[in-house]
Structure 1
C-alpha cells in the first residue's frame, strides 16, 4: 500500500497559523510543455469546471476554424498531415487544482 508520505507528499491542509485560509479551485492550462497560470480562482470545483469548459470550447472553436481553412487550402497548410501537430499547438490541456487562498 502506498501512502502520501511514502512518496514525499503531504495531505493538503490549511495553514494552522492562518485559519482564514479557505480552499479555492484554480484553473491551470498546460500548453506546449509549459504551465500557464490563468489567475482564474473559483469557490467550487463545479464553477472551475464550468470555466474550464468555456475556455476549452474557445480553443476548439479556433481549431475548427483552422481545420475548415486547411481543408480548403491543403497545399499551404500540409493538410491532412498537419492535423495532429496543429491540434497539439492549438488545444492545450487544462486542469482545476485545489489551492488555499486567504
Structure 2
C-alpha cells in the first residue's frame, strides 16, 4: 500500500443536512434522495486530510483525535488531543498504520455559537 492511497470506503446514508444562516443560527433540510449516499469528501480531500493527520501525529509524537472543519475547500483544524477512545475500533489484520475519519460526528455542543 502506498502512503497516498485509499484502500476502503464506507459511505453512510445521509438524510438531513444542517446549514449555517448568515443572520445566525442554523437550518436543517432534507437531502435529495439521489444525493443521500453520495461521497461527502472527494478522494483528493480525503488524502489531503490524511496527510494533515499524519503531520499532526508526527508533531505531537502519538496518535491524535483531531477535530476539523472544511470551508470552501480549506481544512481548518479546531482541536487535536491524544486518542483516548475510538469505539468501535475497526479491525485491522495487518501491521500498517491506519487513519480513521468520523464525518458528521456530533459531540457536546449542539447549538450554534452566536457572536
Q: Say whether the fold is shared (TM-score over 0.5).
A: no
Name which one, 1 or 2, has greater alpha-carbon Rg.
1
Instruction: With a CA cutoff of 8 Å and minimum separation of 6, indicate the structure with the bigger relative contact order.
Output: 1
TM score, norm. by length of structure 1: 0.29
TM score, norm. by length of structure 2: 0.27
Report which of the two has the higher share of helix: 1
